[in-house]
Amino acid sequence: MTDFSIKLSAYLDGELDAAETAEVEARLESDPQARVELDDLIQADAFAQEEFEKMLDEPVPFALAQQIKNTPLEPKVAPARPIWGTLAASLVVFVLGGASGFLLRGEPAPVQTAGWLADIADYHEVYASQGRHLVEVGAEESDHIETWLGNTIGTPFSIPDLSAYGLTFEGGRLLVANAKPVAQLMYRLEDGTVVALCLQQSSRPNPDTLEFREQTINGFDFVSWTANGADYVVIGPGGQPGLTDMAATAALEI
């Protein structure tokens, strides 16, 4: 981990003073790779917290519960300074390194997002419940949607046909996530379930092979990938079947 990575982790935990915070934010504004690293860190942090919450839902083994119950409490000397910043930095390294185990966090850090995907989850929670106002521009103006949103986000695209999955294209709207414009294409299943395809210009290098990343954020399932100078994601409600197949089709057509 570089010195900047350590400082970036401390920035996420709100542990920097005003001068250091301004220094980090200035670099994030001018350095695309720094923004990529920030996005990776907060996505890893969100993933770790989500996995920890899942573990909290699991029943405690009886033997462990008995051991805890029978262990006498002993007074401990309070640490001289909060340790959560150090834990946060270690936790991110732990997750990015591909290790597995129990991860602990203290109080929530000031930044509780997973990059642009968390912003997309917030938007989707609001707009997916809309009927008449689901989109800004309807599907009957598909050519305009491609031109308007493509020019706005700086990435040309074609609207994928996902009808093979029972999805009807409803239209599009413009979002902002991670301070960058995002094109959101809205699809609806016959039962009213809304699935969205979102894309924004990427700061990441194009991968040699297409890689789909699956994760759940704020109760929504995501399948994301990077290609052709853009970041893409298909989002649907938690447990929605077929999202990866939809993403694979979208990746070919968009």
pLDDT value, residue 165: 96
From residue 187, how far is each of 41, 133, 156, 177, 207 by CA, in Å? 31, 13, 19, 20, 27
- HSE at residue 171, side-chain half, CA atoms within 13 A, is 17
Q: Which residues of the chain have pLDDT under 50?
A: 79-84, 86-87, 89-113
pLDDT value, residue 87: 47
| pTM of the predicted model as reported, rounded to 2 decimal places | 0.58
- Cβ 5 vs Cβ 38: under 8 Å: no
Q: What is the third-level CATH fold of 116-253?
A: Protein Transport Mog1p; Chain A (3.40.1000)
pLDDT value, residue 52: 58
The full set of domain ranges for the chain reads: 3-96, 116-253
- HSE at residue 231, side-chain half, CA atoms within 13 A, is 20
Dihedral of the alpha carbons of 151, 157, 158, 160, in degrees to the nearest 10: -130
- Which DSSP state fits 73? P
Dihedral of the alpha carbons of 148, 149, 154, 158, in degrees to the nearest 10: -100
pLDDT value, residue 230: 93
pLDDT value, residue 103: 35
pLDDT value, residue 75: 54
From residue 200, how far is each of 14, 76, 77, 165, 225 by CA, in Å? 28, 50, 50, 24, 11
Phi-psi domain of 102 (left: phi exceeds 0; alpha: psi -120 through 50; beta: other): beta
pLDDT value, residue 84: 46
**Rounded Cα gap, residues 89 and 186, in angstroms:** 37
pLDDT value, residue 95: 42
